[in-house]
Amino acid sequence: MKEMGYNLTEVKEDNLKDIKELAECMRTVQYYNEKGIYAGNHMFMGYQGYGIPSKKEYISFIKDIVDNSSFKLLYSREECCGNKIIAVGLGALTSMANETKTRCGRVMFFWVHPEKRKTTLNNKLYKKLFGWFKKNNCPSVSISFKRHQDSLAKFFFNKGYKVDNMELVGPVEVV
């Protein structure tokens, strides 16, 4: 069976039509990531007292970053079967370090629907996001992960990343 091609869309001021669905997708992914930490114990699922952002807060956040050159937000939709969002990637550039005059990259959100992780979509999202980091001369990129996110950690280990206190740190290589 031939694999379907996946298109990545960059969120910009002029294409906010999917913002509500994108915000709901990001909120749902964060909810299940946090739920995994607390292993279903709803008594302690208060997210350390902070709570996860609401859909409205995600919408506001997305609107705040869409045309900020320090952020890149990408997503992909399934081309059939409901046209739902199946991948989201969000990268950010750190403030410029005074002594080095460089900015490092930070992956703030990297998610591909579990049924699509064995396809080319993971690599396509990675290459597009990390191409942006490279274009911005980032010497390294970091990404936080939770203990239960084995597939995310394995994906980045295979790209040459190393663990540093629940943080994956590595070079900006578009592999």
* Domain residue limits, the chain: 8-139
Position 38 pLDDT exceeds 70: no
For 8-139, CATH gives: 3.40.630.30
Provide the CB-side half-sphere exposure for 105 (13 A, CA).
29
Question: What token pair was written down for 100?
Answer: 């080095």
Beta pairing partners, 112: 87
- Band (pLDDT 50/70/90 cuts) for residue 92 is very high
- Band (pLDDT 50/70/90 cuts) for residue 34 is low
**Residue 72: per-residue pLDDT:** 94
Phi, psi of 43 (to 5 degrees): -65, -35
**Residue 146: per-residue pLDDT:** 65
Exposed/middle/buried for residue 62 (C-beta within 10 Å: 0-12, 13-18, 19+): buried
**Residue 46: per-residue pLDDT:** 39
Q: What percent of the chain has pLDDT over 90?
A: 15
- Band (pLDDT 50/70/90 cuts) for residue 93 is very high
**Residue 42: per-residue pLDDT:** 40
Q: Which stretch, 2-11, 45-54, 96-105, 126-135, has highest mean pLDDT?
A: 126-135
Segment holding 62, helix H or strand E: helix 55-65
- Band (pLDDT 50/70/90 cuts) for residue 130 is very high
Kindly report the average pLDDT of the chain as a whole number: 77
Position 131 pLDDT exceeds 90: yes
Place of tokens 């290459």: 127
